[in-house]
Amino acid sequence: MASLIPLTAPDDPRIDAYRVIKERDLVGRGGRFIVEGRTVLDVALSPRNRFTLESLLLAESRIEALAPLLAQAPADLPVYTASQAILDGITGFHIHRGLLGIGLRGAEPSMAELIASLPEEALVVVPLGITNHDNVGGIMRNAAAFGADAALFDFASCDPLYRKAIRVSVGGSLMVPFAREGSAEAILDRLAASGFTLIALSPSGASELSTLARPPRAALLLGAEGPGLAPHILARTLTTRIAMAGNFDSLNVATTSGIALHAMRRTQITPA
Amino acid sequence: MASLIPLTAPDDPRIDAYRVIKERDLVGRGGRFIVEGRTVLDVALSPRNRFTLESLLLAESRIEALAPLLAQAPADLPVYTASQAILDGITGFHIHRGLLGIGLRGAEPSMAELIASLPEEALVVVPLGITNHDNVGGIMRNAAAFGADAALFDFASCDPLYRKAIRVSVGGSLMVPFAREGSAEAILDRLAASGFTLIALSPSGASELSTLARPPRAALLLGAEGPGLAPHILARTLTTRIAMAGNFDSLNVATTSGIALHAMRRTQITPA
């Protein structure tokens, strides 16, 4: 277990990374990201986390309740503790459930490297133009729950290491390998060249999802709610639909990812 | 099409219902509820809406863009229009996309009446202890999308006519018949007495969801994230699980409802 380091002043330089939270708040840039809440920290402190934690910061009042969780922390991880008054001075806003951590992005694989690293049989999720942090988090949660091999975001989508996306993912953002780079077209070109069948969910899809044969390498494309995937994207994909009531053809995109990943994981792989 | 009624002062008594929005904000009590946003209003102004609208209020700047939507409004529906300055004076906060409406709850069916009204073959969703407005809204959206016959909430769950629940439901809250009353036990007693098979999603479920035979009358029970359904509830149900990756057994409850409703709607009914 990591040893606790009590802080005596909010301007302690060892916690500079936390002091600037407000400025970067939702942003995963700058080589660091923010993890918060017990469930996410449970993932972050387990071997499931692909990233390295730099430090933890918690309210003194939470030490006892969080002891089982802290027992998982590596011995060399700094765990700063502070009174609520000092915490308020550091961050300027309330810490979610008295527990916050800073993670390091480290060297991230390029899209090409990530695709090249995928196994022979692979299921990847491809969110395109998804700018809502809740939806990106929800997609990462489902990708983790159904064991997707990777998530490939176009650059128009938001970063799965945004603060809220990590929280909504319940730690899935830390587990599923991802890249976020380039245009939708560039990603689809790469996937097609690597033998992936491009599958798009669309209300006008050619077959119902539950009857879809699963190819050995499947890429599940998801578009933004409202506009959906652009016609020129749909034109190069195998389209599939989720059967719905005739008078309300509307699903949340994260829910759609859950339904589609569940269906595909339950389907035997059929050689193309 | 309804005729537009321009307002010249924020204290016009005809829009008293909007003036108190802040106090009731998220609350569907008091016989009224708030609808907002184009997509929800599209449902609210269609025959899919089970409720009656009392009035609409919109920003002058939005009249032209919303003309196709307003064309659906009944001729006797008051549609108040105002400048942004007057709107700000009325509500004290920004109106979502310049469009707000007040709906009337009217006479709501009791739980017993709603259950008695269900068809011979029926699929109902039963959220128990779901207090998160996003999740209740998400469940109502999925219930509408997959044509559930009713949603039966225990009193510990939040009201599907809360402002945010309606918004997240994209109008599903206005479509799917629901009741919210009493304890989980009381609801399950009623459903069992009415020939419903009680089906609970649980990580330790006896069968995987996609292999579950669908009874003619099926009630799909959903518990709160984290605690899930209580053991004494699970003990009286047919349990089913959603197969997930071994190291991350975590789904959002609204996503769970989508996966389960999709699976059950795709399954032939098997006489019990």
Q: Pick from A147, A208, A250: which is nearest to B170 by CB?
A: A250
* Closest Cα in chain A, distance from residue B164 (Å): 15
Residue with the bigger pLDDT between B177 and A21: it is: B177
Is residue A237 located within the same domain as residue A146? yes
Residue A271 falls within a domain, yes or no?
no
User: Looking at residue A183, which CATH number applies to its domain?
Assistant: 3.40.1280.10
* pLDDT confidence of residue B237: 96
Is residue B125 located within the same domain as residue B176? yes
- SS3 helix, strand, coil % of chain B, rounded to 5? 35, 20, 40
CA angle, A210 then B242 then A144, to 5°: 95
- Residue B23 confidence (pLDDT) above 80: no
- Residue B27 confidence (pLDDT) above 80: no
| Residue B203 φ/ψ, nearest 5 degrees | -55, -25
User: Looking at residue A43, which CATH number applies to its domain?
Assistant: 3.30.1330.30
Which range has highest mean pLDDT (A13-27, B6-20, B209-223)?
A: B209-223
Give which of A61, A94, A101, A96 is closest to A79, Cα–Cα: A101
* Record: contact A251-B242, CB cut-off 8 A: no
CA torsion A115-A116-A118-A124 (nearest 10°) is 10
> In which band, very low, low, confident or very high, does the pLDDT at B266 lie, cut at 50, 70 and 90?
confident
Question: In the structure encoding, which two tokens stand for residue B62, read together?
Answer: 């939005």
CA nearest to B141 within chain A: A251
Is residue A120 located within the same domain as residue A91? no
Is residue A129 located within the same domain as residue A87? no
Is residue B27 located within the same domain as residue B68? yes
Residue B270 falls within a domain, yes or no?
no
- Residue A87 confidence (pLDDT) above 60: yes
* Record: contact B242-A262, CB cut-off 8 A: yes
Where in the sequence is the domain holding B97, given as residue range(s)? 4-104
Name every chain A residue with its beta carbon within 8 A of the beta carbon of B39: 250
Question: Which residues, 6 or more positions from B187, have their beta carbon under 8 angstroms from its beta carbon?
Answer: B111, B126, B128, B152, B154, B181
* pLDDT confidence of residue B26: 44
- Percent of chain A surpassing pLDDT 90: 65
| Mean predicted confidence (pLDDT) in A80-100 | 77
Residue A229 falls within a domain, yes or no?
yes
Complex-level ipTM beyond the 0.95 threshold: no
Is residue A118 located within the same domain as residue A76? no
CA nearest to B47 within chain A: A247
* Closest Cα in chain B, distance from residue A42 (Å): 11
- Percent of chain B surpassing pLDDT 70: 93
- Residues 232..271 of A with a Cβ closer than 8 Å to B: which? 242-245, 247-252, 254-256, 258-259, 262-263, 265-266
| Mean predicted confidence (pLDDT) in B160-173 | 95
B52 close to B45: Cβ distance less than 8 angstroms = no
* pLDDT confidence of residue A95: 65
* pLDDT confidence of residue A97: 64
* Mean residue pLDDT across chain B: 90
Residue B33 falls within a domain, yes or no?
yes
Which of A57, A86, A104 delimits the end of a domain? Answer: A104
Q: Pick from B142, B245, B250: which is nearest to A170 by CB?
A: B250
> Of A45, A222, A248, which to mutate for an interface test with B (greatest number of B Cβ within 10 Å)?
A248
Is residue A196 located within the same domain as residue A217? yes
Residue A198 falls within a domain, yes or no?
yes
Is residue A90 located within the same domain as residue A131? no
* pLDDT confidence of residue B87: 84
CA angle, B269 then B170 then B182, to 5°: 65
CA nearest to B148 within chain A: A245
Q: Pick from B142, B145, B247: which is nearest to A48 by CB?
A: B247
Residue B204 falls within a domain, yes or no?
yes
* Record: contact A141-B250, CB cut-off 8 A: yes
Is residue B217 located within the same domain as residue B143? yes
> Which amino acid is residue B90, in one-letter code?
I
Say how far apart CA A132 and CA A128 lie, in whole Å: 11
Which of B104, B123, B151 delimits the end of a domain? Answer: B104
Give which of B57, B14, B64 is closest to B36, Cα–Cα: B57
Q: Does A208 touch chain B (CB under 8 A)?
A: yes
* pLDDT confidence of residue B30: 61
- Residue A27 confidence (pLDDT) above 70: no
CA nearest to B140 within chain A: A251
* Record: contact B243-A262, CB cut-off 8 A: yes
- Check the CA dihedral A90-A91-A94-A95 and report its sign: negative
Give which of A154, A123, A142 is closest to A253, Cα–Cα: A142
* Record: contact B145-A247, CB cut-off 8 A: no
Q: How many CB atoms lie within 10 A of CB A33?
A: 25
Residue B255 DSSP SS3: helix
* Record: contact B251-A43, CB cut-off 8 A: no
> In which band, very low, low, confident or very high, does the pLDDT at B95 lie, cut at 50, 70 and 90?
low
Is residue A88 located within the same domain as residue A165? no
The H-assigned helical ranges of A45-162 are: 63-70, 84-91, 111-116, 133-145
Is residue B122 located within the same domain as residue B89? no
* Mean residue pLDDT across chain A: 90
Q: Does B138 touch chain A (CB under 8 A)?
A: yes
Number of domains in chain A: 2
* pLDDT confidence of residue B21: 64
pLDDT tens digits, A159-217: 999 989 999 999 999 999 999 999 999 999 999 999 999 999 988 888 999 899 899 99
Q: Does A43 touch chain B (CB under 8 A)?
A: yes
Is residue B27 located within the same domain as residue B93? yes
Residue B272 falls within a domain, yes or no?
no
Q: Does A139 touch chain B (CB under 8 A)?
A: no
